[in-house]
Amino acid sequence: MSGFDLSHLTASFSGKRVIGPLSLQVSPGDKVALVGKSGAGKSTLIRLIHERVNRDASLIPQELGLVNALSVFHNVFMGQLDQHATWYNTLTLARPFARDRTDVQELLQALGMAEKLRLPASSLSGGQRQRVAIARAIYRNAPVLLADEPVSALDGPMANSVMTLLRDRFTTSIIALHDVELALNYCTRIVGIQNGQVALDQPRENLVASDIMSLY
């Protein structure tokens, strides 16, 4: 499954409605940018979608969810934990299999972090931590990517490099982005969120940056 029809999505916090009711249809091959100002509900929407399509999705949450005490390798390997037997995962904790180590090493190479394989996640900078979470999501090898500001800590060239990698590795994606230019350059569809509702939903080619900036 790489497309889905989500209807009647709602979320409330402390009795206050922050999302919906909202419906979103995503077709296989859609690369959706969720845009809108902070607090519009983009992160909540990513979480709601993940609850619905969990097993078919790779998630990059804004808080990243890395385990500081584990190595970069093991943090990336966690993307496939539910795809292996417990004995396999236990063995991997002590001594990774060569194939897994090679696969993770290649991913880290593509993200400019090959030399960090054995380092603990606690030793990494913010941008490096973000790239480990990106590697974990790609390693999961799911058809759908759900990502919440996945390149916010990366500089321009690295952000573009990572967005290219995410575009090429996932059939379908929904990515919350603050950077309007990245949204227009790497996504095929722009969905604007305002006050928990869909305020804009257009193919990229119908829009210019100023059309999107009105949401901010």
Distance, first Cα to last Cα, the chain: 33
Predicted pLDDT of residue 26? 94
pLDDT for 16 equals 84
Instruction: Say how far apart CA 167 and CA 121 lie, in whole Å.
Output: 25
Identify the CA nearest to 35 among candidates 206, 195, 207, 194: 194
- At residue 5, the pLDDT reads 87
The first and second tokens of residue 211, run together, are: 């059309």
User: Cα-flanking dihedrals φ and ψ of residue 210, to 5°?
Assistant: -65, -30
DSSP string, 54-82: GGGEEEE-TT----TTSBHHHHHHGGGGG
Question: Per CATH, the architecture of 4-213 is what?
Answer: 3-Layer(aba) Sandwich (3.40)
Beta bridge partners of 31: 173
Tell me what pLDDT residue 76 has: 98
User: Average pLDDT of each block of 10 consecutive residues along the chain (216 residues)?
Assistant: 81 85 92 92 91 90 96 97 94 94 97 96 97 98 95 94 96 95 96 92 94 87
Residue pair 59/50 in contact by the 8 Å Cβ criterion? yes
The pLDDT of residue 215 is 87
| pLDDT for the residue numbered 1 | 58
